């Protein structure tokens, strides 16, 4: 019964994120009744939700029935430097709703998302602006800690320009450019994503980065710009099947070859392929997610499979890094 009810817990967590409960409790512990007045909710129902979440460490509750934030609920705040609020809303919303059709994937091996919506997730988002905005913010939540870890782990001294392929709102680049002021960055993504990201950056507290961060609309299945010292592709390939992954890597390799023409070998562009790989049994949760939500034929990748895709695309792995976030970074060059 407890396992079967985990979906209810996830939906409760999603509701807490949607209502902004952690922001209301930031510095102001309250009873459920007081919090209900602040959020326009039903006191008894809110009490039940808070009780559920407090039992698993999301929110704290004292003997007087006063609720406060914990280290977990702090990450549901918009202003937290490692906020996961929007990812929780995406995971417990669109993603969880897609899992209602997991049996279709189990019976056919096909994407449940396509079965439900008749298209891939990216085309769906283009037609649903509100969900696309949430998706952008959720991807920023996921990219923020990776940017901090990569900024420390990789040597950017010889790099001047970085192009992030499928970089969404540019959160990875924002982190790298903040940590390394000598860098400039370009984020390649769909036109609608770039338009939203550029508008958001122009009015954000980090609008000063607009001098060094640009957005390039494009289709990385067709072509990648050839004007960077370093290329990055993070959490992108696992959303595509093997065939498309090799095409994406091949387009990047073509851009690297054009950008590196005439340069000494040790000064030619590098590519960082940044992915969480399948390493333990727990990682199969993510594998099933990719089968259900991503395009037909998408599967989890082990290190061996990832390297094989890289080689098939005409690249060679020079070295690897392990980030504190659990991501593996394959440092690649165009094969010669």
Q: How far apart are CA 108 and CA 206, in angstroms?
A: 46
Annotated catalytic residue 115: no
Q: How far apart are CA 105 and CA 158, in angstroms?
A: 46
What is the SS3 assignment for the chain?
CCCCCHHHHHHHHHHHHHHCHHHHHCCCCEEHHHHHHHHCCCHHHHHHHHHHHHCCCCCEECCCCEEECCHHHHCCCCCCCCCCHHHHHHHHHHHHHHHHHHHHHHHHCCCHHHHHHCCCHHHHHHHCHHHHHHHHHHHHHHHHHHHHHHHHHCCCCCCCEEEEECCCCCHHHHHHHHHCCCCEEEEEECHHHHHHHHHHHHHCCCHHHHHCEEEEECCCCCCCCCCCCEEEEECCHHHCCHHHHHHHHHHHHHHHHHHHCCCCHHHCCEEEEEECCCCCHHHHHHHHHHHHHCCCCCCCCCHHHHHHHHHHCCEEEEEEEECCCCCEEEEEEECC
Contact present, 159 and 183 (Cβ < 8 Å): yes
- Per annotation, catalytic residue among 86, 238, 327, 330: 238
Contact present, 20 and 78 (Cβ < 8 Å): yes
Question: Which residues carry out catalysis?
Answer: 238
């Amino acid at each position: 019964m407890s396992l079967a009810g985990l979906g209810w817990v996830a939906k409760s967590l999603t509701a807490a994120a949607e209502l902004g409960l952690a922001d209301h409790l930031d510095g102001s512990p309250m009873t459920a009744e007081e919090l209900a007045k602040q959020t326009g909710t039903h006191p008894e129902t809110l009490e039940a939700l808070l009780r559920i979440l407090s039992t698993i460490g999301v929110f704290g509750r004292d003997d007087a029935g006063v609720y406060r934030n914990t280290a977990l609920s702090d990450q549901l705040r918009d202003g937290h430097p490692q906020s996961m609020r929007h990812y929780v809303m995406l995971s417990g919303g669109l993603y969880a709703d897609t899992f209602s059709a997991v049996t279709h994937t189990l019976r056919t091996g096909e994407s449940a998302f396509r079965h439900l919506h008749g298209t891939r997730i990216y085309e769906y988002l283009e037609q649903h602006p509100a969900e696309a905005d949430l998706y952008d913010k959720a991807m920023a939540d996921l990219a923020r800690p990776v940017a901090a870890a990569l900024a420390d782990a990789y040597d950017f001294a010889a790099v001047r320009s970085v192009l992030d392929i499928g970089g969404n709102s540019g959160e990875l680049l924002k982190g790298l450019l903040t940590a390394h002021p000598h860098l400039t960055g370009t984020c390649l993504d769909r036109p609608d994503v770039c338009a939203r990201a550029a508008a958001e950056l122009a009015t954000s507290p980090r609008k000063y980065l607009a001098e060094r961060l640009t957005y390039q609309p494009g289709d990385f299945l067709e072509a990648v710009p050839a004007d960077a010292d370093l290329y990055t592709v993070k959490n992108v390939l696992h959303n595509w099947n093997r065939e498309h992954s090799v095409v994406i890597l091949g387009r990047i390799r073509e851009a690297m070859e054009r950008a590196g023409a005439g340069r000494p070998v040790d000064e030619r562009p590098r590519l960082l392929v940044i992915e969480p790989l399948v390493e333990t049994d727990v990682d199969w949760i993510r594998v099933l997610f990719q089968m259900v939500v991503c395009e037909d034929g998408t599967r989890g990748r082990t290190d061996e499979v990832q390297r094989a895709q890289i080689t098939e695309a005409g690249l060679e792995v020079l070295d690897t890094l392990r980030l504190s976030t659990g991501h593996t970074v394959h440092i690649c060059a165009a094969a010669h």
